Amino acid sequence: MPYAHPEVLVETDWVKENIGKPGIRLVEVDVDLQAYEAGHIPGAAGFNWQKDLQDQLSRDIISRQAFEKLLGGAGISPKDTVVLYGDNNNWFAAYGFWLFKIYGHESVRLMNGGRQKWLNEQDKPFTTDKPSFPPVTYAAKASNEALRARLAEVMKISGKPNPNLVDVRSPDEYTGKIIAPPGMTETAQRAGHVPGAANVPWSSAVDKDGRFKSVEELSEIYLKKAGIDPKKPVIAYCRIGERSSHTWFVLKYLLGIDTAKNYDGSWTEYGNVVGAPIER
């Protein structure tokens, strides 16, 4: 059975064949630009998740104007098909995908398997050359808030029977054994999870080579085992909103749950809120 929206995924072979084709643009999205600068797919722009995709003053996604400036500066027009890929199994690329969709970019794809798969394939080249595309004027759409869950919405469903929440963090974070993985600076005042949330670690969605599992396997994991109801709105969260983008992508585009939202505030917001109910 095919994914609900198979067109949002492209394979590494497809990318190799389409490097440099007009109307197709590649963007590597990583937590920072260290790996991009060491080497990237020829023609790919590099977006820094921390600096380019986050507002540097307020804790928020970048504004519409900043998004227009970022894409226009990279020479990407609203009509281009943009293929995103990145490190950490495409977490940050999936966050980029979510952001591109928030600002209404029509044609966005994820490269299945991410940078790791490309790196492991002998016939796939990397370069250190930076692409040079002339800047364009990019007009974004108003932000589509339907893709984004806010604290108030999460508080409202918290603790209700079957809140249809997916906590994609590790079991130790979910059960409150730890607040954050060791060494992470973004933490919270309290450990645990939103009452009623199901725990499905992000990595449940991928195979060993980083590619997404089949729709049958994904249905089994999210719908059958975790009990997510595809007819009701579903919200994914993690610690800082990047791993949950990956699961949001799975729920919305591979399983076809159109109402899926990413709660980007995630545990570093919820776990700090005074009086928020917590389960361990």
- Does residue number 88 form part of the binding site for other proteins (CB under 8 A)? yes
Q: What would the two tokens of residue 182 be?
A: 């060791």
Residue selected from 39, 73, 104, 131 as contacting other proteins according to rule CB under 8 A: 39
* Residue 25 phi, psi (nearest 5): -125, 140
* Residue 135 phi, psi (nearest 5): -60, 150
Query: How many whole angstroms separate alpha carbon 96 and alpha carbon 98?
Result: 5
Tell me how far apart the terminal alpha carbons of the chain are, to the nearest angstrom. Answer: 37
CB-side exposure of 105: number of CA atoms within 13 Å?
25
Cβ 23 to other proteins, closest distance in Å? 26
Exactly one of 35, 70, 93, 238 is catalytic; name it. Answer: 238
Scanning the structure block, which residue is given the tokens 């995103």?
84
- Does residue number 59 form part of the binding site for other proteins (CB under 8 A)? no
Q: Which is nearer to other proteins, 33 or 273 (by Cβ)?
A: 33
Cβ 144 to other proteins, closest distance in Å? 26
Cβ 181 to other proteins, closest distance in Å? 5
Residue selected from 28, 87, 167, 264 as contacting other proteins according to rule CB under 8 A: 87
Q: What would the two tokens of residue 103 be?
A: 């600002």
Task: Tell me whether residue 238 is one of the annotated catalytic residues.
Answer: yes
Neighbours of 169 (CB within 10 A): 24
Q: What would the two tokens of residue 201 be?
A: 């670690």
Please, which of residues 146-205 interact with other proteins by CB under 8 A? 169-170, 181-184, 203
Residue selected from 1, 20, 22, 38 as contacting other proteins according to rule CB under 8 A: 38
Q: What would the two tokens of residue 276 be?
A: 């928020």
Residue selected from 25, 193, 211, 243 as contacting other proteins according to rule CB under 8 A: 243
Scanning 16-24, 34-42, 140-148, 260-268 for contacts with other proteins by CB under 8 A, the matching segment is 34-42
Q: What would the two tokens of residue 57 be?
A: 């003053």
**CA-based max dimension of the chain:** 55
Q: Which residues are catalytic?
A: 238
> Which stretches of the chain bind other proteins, using CB under 8 A?
31-32, 34-35, 38-40, 87-89, 91, 115-116, 119, 125-128, 169-170, 181-184, 203, 208, 239, 242-243
